[in-house]
Amino acid sequence: MADFRITLVRSLIGRPETERKTARALGLRKLHSQVVRPDTPVIRGQIQKLAHLVKVETRA
């Protein structure tokens, strides 16, 4: 199963609290921080919610 490398590329300043909590749940804390997460429906939903703030790469 593939993994996602998720990078926070836009700031969370001024974003709604739900988006901040979602980023925190993914493990994204600072700008340009990266995390690797498995490809699951839950992670896909979180990425979709933050699509305008993150860059996602697929790892095999």
Report the CATH number that the domain containing residue 30 is assigned in CATH: 3.30.1390.20
pLDDT of 10 reads 97
Instruction: Print the domain residue range for 27.
Output: 3-59
SS3 at position 48: helix
**pLDDT on residue 43:** 97
Q: How many CA atoms lie within 13 A of 37 on its CB side?
A: 19
Residue 59: predicted pLDDT? 87
- Give the number of domains in the chain: 1
pLDDT tens for the chain, 60 residues: list them. Answer: 799 999 999 999 999 999 999 999 999 999 999 999 999 999 999 999 999 999 999 987
pTM of the model: 0.92
